Amino acid sequence: MENQKQNKSTQYLLIALLLLSLIGNVFQYKNNQDDVAVRDSKIDTLVTVQVELEKELVSTGAELESYRGIASNLDSLLDDANGKIEAQEAKIKKLLTSEKSGDKLNKKLKAELEELRKLKDQYLEKIDQLITENGQLKKENEEKAAAITKLNEEKTGLQSKVATASQLKAEYVKVASFKKKGNGKFIETSLAKRTNKIDVSLTIMDNKVAEPGDKMIYVVVKEPTGKVLAGASKAKFNVAETNEELAATASYRVSYNGQKQDIKVSFETDERILTAGNYTIDVYIDGTFVNTSTCILR
SS (H, E, C) 48-75: HHHHHHHHHHHHHHHHHHCCCCCCHHHH
- What is the reported pLDDT for 161? 44
Average pLDDT over residues 271-278: 87
| Structure-model confidence comparison of residues 219 and 36, the more confident one | 219
Residue type for position 129: Q
Q: Which helix (H) or strand (E) holds 278?
A: strand 277-285
Query: Is residue 31's pLDDT more than 70?
Result: no
- What is the reported pLDDT for 90? 81
- What is the reported pLDDT for 131? 80
Residue type for position 75: D
Average pLDDT over residues 75-84: 82
Query: Is residue 284's pLDDT more than 90?
Result: yes
Alpha helices in the chain (DSSP H): 2-65, 72-98, 102-156
| Structure-model confidence comparison of residues 291 and 45, the more confident one | 291
Provide the pLDDT confidence category of residue 19 given band limits of 50, 70 and 90.
low
Query: Is residue 270's pLDDT more than 90?
Result: no
- What is the reported pLDDT for 283? 92
Query: Is residue 248's pLDDT more than 80?
Result: yes
The arrangement of strands across the sheet holding 277-285 comes to 250-256, 213-222, 277-285, 288-297
Domain ranges of the chain: 2-130, 164-297
Average pLDDT, the chain: 78
Residue 20 CB-half CA count within 13 A: 6
- What is the reported pLDDT for 150? 75
- What is the reported pLDDT for 51? 76
Helix (H, G, I), strand (E, B) or coil at 127: helix
Query: Is residue 166's pLDDT more than 80?
Result: no
- Kindly report the three-state secondary structure assignment for every residue of 131-185: HHHHHHHHHHHHHHHHHHHHHHHHHHCCCCCCCCCCCCCEEEEEEEEEEECCCCC
pLDDT > 90 in the chain, percent: 6
Pick from 20-34, 49-63, 121-135, 259-273: least confident = 20-34
Pick from 7-16, 64-73, 89-98: least confident = 7-16
Average pLDDT over residues 246-257: 89
CATH fold of the domain at 164-297: Immunoglobulin-like (2.60.40)
Cα dist from 277 to 59, 135, 171, 191, 297, whole Å: 21, 14, 24, 10, 5
Query: Is residue 174's pLDDT more than 80?
Result: yes
| Structure-model confidence comparison of residues 125 and 34, the more confident one | 125
